[in-house]
Amino acid sequence: MTETETIVVIGAGVIGISTALCLQPQLDRSQSILIVARDFPNTTSLNYASPWAGAHYRPVPGLSPQAVREEKQAQRTYEHFKVVAAQEPGAGVKAIDGIEHLESPPAEYLDEAVIQQSYAHLDDFRPLPPSELPVGVKWGVSYRTFVVNPPVYCAHMLRQFVLKGGQTKEHTVVNPMEAFYLAGNVKTVINCTGMGFADPKSFIIRGQTCLVRNPCSATITRQNSDGTWSFCIPRPLEGGTIIGGTKQPHNWDPNPSSDTRQQLLANAAKWFPFPPASEAKFDVLRDIVGRRPAREGGVRLEAETVGDGRRIVHGYGLGGRGFELSWGVASDVVSLMQEHGLVQGKSLL
């Protein structure tokens, strides 16, 4: 009798769980999946990025190879969210209006071809005429998008994974080679750890946001004239609204700043559509500090041979776009495994 091969996924953030769930239908009967992680969706470690995310789907225009690759991953994720929101109302994904207001749009936002490439796939996408733009805003668009309640969505996916036969193990992996010894007959390890293992290209981006109880009718992103960004993201299933936010590369301070909170809330009171009854006051549930696992050059997607026919497949380093790119990256990891003969299922493309 052939021994079952176990594929180990390291990491139970949105990328690790998405990858495991995306991979399950591609397995043959002799293969199984084990997710090994320090943190799972029921935990709130500062270094476990997924629960702290906003999270919403928003395109990021660009012409670089990284931007083009991420746009393809984003579009596949958008289509996946569309199915999840329609078929699984308890998953924590909801369709909503998305609006962007830019006071000083970068060059890529003024390139019509780039905008079409990045936004045309969105339902109800339309550029906003000057008559619909707030004072000071030079560029704007609206579209139908998705907002996510991250802890609910990750827990939902993990539950699906387990119900389909997946296994989990709480363990802190200090070297990816260790994962080959955490189950029987492990030939493939998938590294979805966010930062990788001592990858010199990896770095954190500290973000501070504020979770408030106040409901909001749309997700709005605003670029300010000084180059900073503000946003409001309502979380489905009565999860409150995230008001953000900051981006501070290489900043390891775990403590929220009260001055930052005041600025975030002041901006939100000016620009975002909270009910009039709020009277520009917010019922603050908590300040949030998270560490986005970024990487120079973007996500690492690579199959590495480590001897004796064993492979480590890497899928990490998405920075602040983990949820937006999640299903696209997961399907790319699965396709990479198919290319190398590590699974035999039909192509996802």
| Residue 186 labelled as part of a binding site | no
Tokens 């746009």: give the residue: 71
Instruction: Please tell me whether residue 292 adopts helix, strand or coil conformation.
Output: strand
| Residue 193 labelled as part of a binding site | yes
Instruction: Please tell me whether residue 323 adopts helix, strand or coil conformation.
Output: helix
Report the interhelical angle of 14-23 vs 322-339 (nearest 10°).
Answer: 40
Whole-number Å distance between alpha carbons of 319 and 193: 12
Two tokens, residue 214: 């106040």
With 0-12 CB in 10 A as exposed, 13-18 as middle and 19+ as buried, what is 163? exposed
| Residue 241 labelled as part of a binding site | no
Please report the DSSP string for 298-312 in residue order.
S-EEEEEE-STT-EE
* Contact yes or no for 233/147 (Cβ under 8 A): yes
* Contact yes or no for 173/36 (Cβ under 8 A): yes
Task: Give the chain's radius of gyration (CA, Å).
Answer: 20
Which stretch of DSSP H or E encloses residue 142?
A: strand 139-148
Whole-number Å distance between alpha carbons of 127 and 99: 10
Whole-number Å distance between alpha carbons of 131 and 226: 23
Two tokens, residue 13: 């953030």
Whole-number Å distance between alpha carbons of 253 and 290: 10
* Contact yes or no for 3/184 (Cβ under 8 A): yes
Please report the DSSP string for 152-215 in residue order.
HHHHHHHHHHHHTT-EEEE---SSGGGGGGSSSSEEEEEE--SSTTT-TTEEEEEEEEEEES--
Q: Which residues are annotated as a binding site for D-dopa?
A: 292, 320
Binding residues for FAD: 174, 193
Q: From the annotation, which residues make up the binding site?
A: 174, 193, 292, 320
